[in-house]
Amino acid sequence: MYKVLSLLFVLLSVIFAVQACAGDYDPSKVTIGGNCPATSFAQWKQLDEGVVLNPTDIPIDELVIHQAGMAHVIEVAKALNKKFVASIYFPNGTLACIGVNTGSPNMIAHGETVAINNCTALYGIKSFTNFTLYTTGEPCAMCAGALVWADFKTIVWGTFNRDLYCKICMSNIPMDSSYIFARAFGLGANKAPRVIGGVLRAQSDAWFGSYCSRPTSIYYIKPECACNKAISVSQRVVTSYSGYTQFEVSLVNYGPAVQGMIVQSDYTLGNNDIWTLNSTLAASGVAPNTYTFYPYKDLFNANEVLTFGYRIQGSYAANFTLQFNYAS
Ligand SMILES: *[C@@H]1O[C@H](CO)[C@@H](O)[C@H](O)[C@H]1NC(C)=O
Ligand SMILES: *[C@@H]1O[C@H](CO)[C@@H](O)[C@H](O)[C@H]1NC(C)=O
Ligand SMILES: *[C@@H]1O[C@H](CO)[C@@H](O)[C@H](O)[C@H]1NC(C)=O
Ligand SMILES: *[C@@H]1O[C@H](CO)[C@@H](O)[C@H](O)[C@H]1NC(C)=O
Ligand SMILES: *[C@@H]1O[C@H](CO)[C@@H](O)[C@H](O)[C@H]1NC(C)=O
């Protein structure tokens, strides 16, 4: 009897275990590890880039502090005739140390990494929990990773990577640091820093100047970017059939890279910088132009084109409008 019950228990366990794994594996919904069926691939959750706050998002009393921090690194940069300078502040707001990218002793001695090592040498700091870092140029992919490992609370910069690479023709890894910062969850729930870009942007950009006409400089790169002037929204019906209307809307950025917009979870990144949003808005009785896409993602880099289609139940006239939330 005991053996039969044990066997039954084992059988039930197997059945429950199989049931627990049943269904499509959806990485975006898996939050507890170790439960992938052996036949499936492990995959972390899919993420877009994180939020980069703008000066206009920051309360004025706090912004004044960040402007002072930025003014200081720009001032030091000018005094030393260097481009990339970073500073680190204690949680109480006192300056702890600075770091200057001098290319020495090697190419990974960036302002941020030099400052981190400097502060550690000076004070023995191992983890920068609740510290703030300022940097003239947005952290590169390497430094963004370092800042997450170091557990900074707040990160502030003047000049964006996009501008460094695309407008200033300075060699850089063409990636928004927010891509890395958004993945801080991998080091712990509270590791995501608060990120503020573009503080004293004009001054910082001016100090970087331009390498575009200096192809012999070691910093020069011929950027693989495109420059445009303004956002234009065009709208056209691509197919129409009984009860349904299919639209294709192309949004072309003719201006500087902007914050904002979109996206539903079901977009894909196509070839040649084309983002495809494939969202079905099926709520019958809801006019399509009342639908809200919540802005949280940097969508438009220069020359990026967004193409998407949607279907409307019913017989609404086609009239798609979008509101963009600009950063600059
Ligand atoms: C801020 O903290 C640092 C490190 O503990 C300390 O050296 C400094 O005196 C503090 N500053 C103020 C104004 O309390
Ligand atoms: C380290 O920081 C201190 C304090 O800001 C600064 O005086 C010094 O020049 C820095 N050293 C390096 C190597 O950047
Ligand atoms: C960081 O700041 C938070 C909020 O003030 C505080 O609860 C926490 O103890 C601080 N952590 C460290 C290591 O200072
Ligand atoms: C849009 O979604 C439909 C239904 O899920 C799918 O069949 C189609 O391939 C998708 N189109 C694009 C461009 O992703
Ligand atoms: C589209 O909707 C907007 C906002 O309601 C309106 O101003 C505009 O006239 C409409 N265009 C067409 C072609 O219906």
Write out pLDDT tens, residues 281-319: 322 223 333 333 332 333 444 444 444 443 333 223 334
Question: Global pTM?
Answer: 0.65
Residue 276 is assigned to a structural domain of this protein: yes
What residues make up the domain containing 198?
60-208
95's CB contacts (< 8 A; 6+ apart) are: 72, 87, 88, 89
Q: Is 25 in the pocket of ligand 1 (CB under 6 A)?
A: no
Residues 296, 200 share a domain: no
Give the C-alpha separation, 257 to 234, whole Å.
19
Residue 69 is assigned to a structural domain of this protein: yes
Give the C-alpha separation, 272 to 310, whole Å.
22
Residue 122 is assigned to a structural domain of this protein: yes
First to last CA, the chain: 76
Residues 150, 284 share a domain: no
Name 235's bridge partners: 249
Name 27's bridge partners: none
**Domain count of the fold of the chain:** 2
Ligand 1, atom 6, residue with closest C-alpha: 94
- Between the CA of 130 and the centroid of ligand 3 the distance, in Å, is 6
Which single residue is written with the structure tokens 């890279």?
A: 257
Q: What CATH number is associated with residue 83? A: 3.40.140.10
Q: Is 263 in the pocket of ligand 2 (CB under 6 A)?
A: no
Residues 66, 199 share a domain: yes
Longest Cα pair distance anywhere in the chain, in angstroms? 88
Residue whose C-alpha is closest to residue 143's, from 106, 103, 118, 180: 180
Residues 125, 65 share a domain: yes
Residue 90 is assigned to a structural domain of this protein: yes
- Between the CA of 92 and the centroid of ligand 1 the distance, in Å, is 6
Q: Is 129 in the pocket of ligand 3 (CB under 6 A)?
A: yes
Residue whose C-alpha is closest to residue 204's, from 163, 153, 260: 163
- Work out which ligand 4 atom sits closest to the CA atom of 276: 13
157's CB contacts (< 8 A; 6+ apart) are: 70, 134, 135, 136, 137, 138, 139, 196, 197, 198, 199, 204
Q: Which of 7-11, 24-28, 117-121, 123-127 has the lowest mean pLDDT?
A: 7-11
Digit-coded pLDDT (tens) for 188-240? 988 999 999 999 999 999 999 999 999 999 999 998 875 444 444 443 333 33
Residue 43 is assigned to a structural domain of this protein: no
Rg (CA), the chain: 25
Mutate to test the pocket of ligand 5, among 319, 321, 322, 323 (most ligand atoms within 8 A of CB): 319
